Amino acid sequence: MKPIYLDYAATTSMNPRVLESMLPYFDILFGNPSSSHFFGQKGEGAVEDARMSVSKALNSQPGNIIFTSGGTESDNLALRGTSLFARNSRGANRILTTPVEHPAVANTVRQLQELFGFEVDYLPVNSFGMIDPDDVKKYINKDTALVSAIYANNEIGTINPVKEIGTVCTSLGIPFHTDAVQAAAHLLIDIEAENIDLLTIGAHKFYGPKGMGALIKRPQIQLFPTQTGGSQEQGLRAGTHNVPYIVGLAKALEIAQKSFLKNESRLIGLRDYLVGMILDQIPQAKLTGHPTQRLSNHASFVLQGIDGNQLVIVLDRAGFACSSGSACKTGNPKPSEVLKSIGLSDEMALGSLRVTLGNQTTREELDRFVASLVPIVARLRKTQP
C-alpha cells in the first residue's frame, strides 16, 4: 500500500502553485539582483515584490524583511545580532529564554553563554510547556539584552501567549524574539499587534522550498550582521539573493495565510479525531502539550514502556512516516529536553511519538494508522525487558 506521510512538522511538500511561481527565475529571469542591467532589474523586482508580500502577510514593513537560508539562520541572526548589539550599545549581558526552544535557539544561546560570556536565565514552563507572562515580568530587567520564546513548540505543539509576552518586553524596551517556524503555517500572525520585535519563519514548513527563510523585525530593532560581505539585505545578511526561493517563500506564505480558516477547521477536526482514538485504544498513552492551545495539525504523545525511536522505525516499515519528538532529534537516544522540562521522567520522555497532519491527510489514513499503531505498540511492549 502507498506509504502515508504524517510528519508535516518536519517538512511539507511543495505546493504546485509555489513551484510554478519559482520556475521563471531559474532559467528565463535568472539575473543577479545586484546587477544593474535588465536581467538584474527583473531579479531585484522579484525580490522586492516578495518582500512586500511577506510584509503584508505579517503586518510588518517591507524594509524590515531579511531573507535568509532558513529558520536556523534567522534564529542565529536574531539572537547573536541583537544580543551583541545590546551589549555593545547599552552594556546588557543577559539573555532570557525558555527550556523548550528549538535547537536553533537553544544551541545558539548556549554558544553565546560559553564563548561570548552572556548570562542566561530560563523561564519556567508549566506541564503543558507554556510560559506565564507574569514570570517574564519577574525575570526581565534592564540588563536583559534579549528575550526569546518559541511561538508554538515543534515537539509538543503548545502555543505560547506571545502577545502578552511581547507586551511585557515592549513596556520595558527589551527586544523580543520568537521562533515562529511552526506557527507561521497554522496561525495568523501580526507583528505589530502582538508586539513581536523579531520573528523567524522557514518556507518548507508551509509548502514552500527548503533552504529559505526570513527574519522579520520591527524598525526600531538594531542588530549586528552575523554574515558579512556585500550590502544585501540592508547589510545584515550578505550573499547573492536566491531569487526563485525568495519568490517561493512569499507565494507559499500568501497561500497559507489566505487558506488559514479553511485548513484550520479541517485539521483541528482530524487532530482531535486522532488524539481521541489513540488515548482510547492504547493504554498508558499520554497526550503531551496543551490539549487545546496547540497547533491545529499537531498530535504528540508519550507511550509507557516504548522506545520512541524504535517505534518510528517499525511504523516506517509498516508504511507510516512519523517522528519521535523533534525531527532534529530522531535517532538520538537521549530523552528530549522539552519533555523533561514539562516534568516527564527520562523513561517516559524516551517513549515519545509525534504525528503531524497536512493538506493531504485524510480520516481514512488516520484510521489505517491507528489500526496499525495499536498492535505495534502492544507487540513492542512485550519485547521490553
Active centre residues (catalytic)? 328
Angle at 172 between CA 169 and CA 177, to 5 degrees: 25
* Beta-bridge partner residues of 94: 119, 144
Q: Is 294 helix (H, G, I), strand (E, B) or coil?
A: strand
352-356 and 298-303 strand pairing: antiparallel
Q: Which amino acid is at 376?
A: I
Q: Is 177 helix (H, G, I), strand (E, B) or coil?
A: strand
94-97 and 176-179 strand pairing: unpaired
Q: Which amino acid is at 190?
A: D
119-122 and 94-97 strand pairing: parallel
Q: Which amino acid is at 321?
A: A
Q: Which amino acid is at 291?
A: P
User: What sign does the dihedral 182-104-213-323 (CA atoms) show?
Assistant: negative
Whole-angstrom Cα distance, residue 205 to residue 357? 12
Burial class (CB in 10 A: 0-12, 13-18, 19+), 114: exposed
Element holding 333 (H helix, E strand): none
Is 129:97 a contact under the CB 8 Å cutoff? no
Count CB atoms within 10 A of the CB of residue 116. Answer: 13
Is 69:228 a contact under the CB 8 Å cutoff? no
Closest to 97 (Cα-Cα) out of 88, 89, 108: 108
Q: Which three cell numbers stand for residue 15?
A: 505546493
Whole-angstrom Cα distance, residue 357 to residue 41? 40
Is 18:209 a contact under the CB 8 Å cutoff? yes
Q: Is 200 helix (H, G, I), strand (E, B) or coil?
A: strand
Is 328:87 a contact under the CB 8 Å cutoff? no
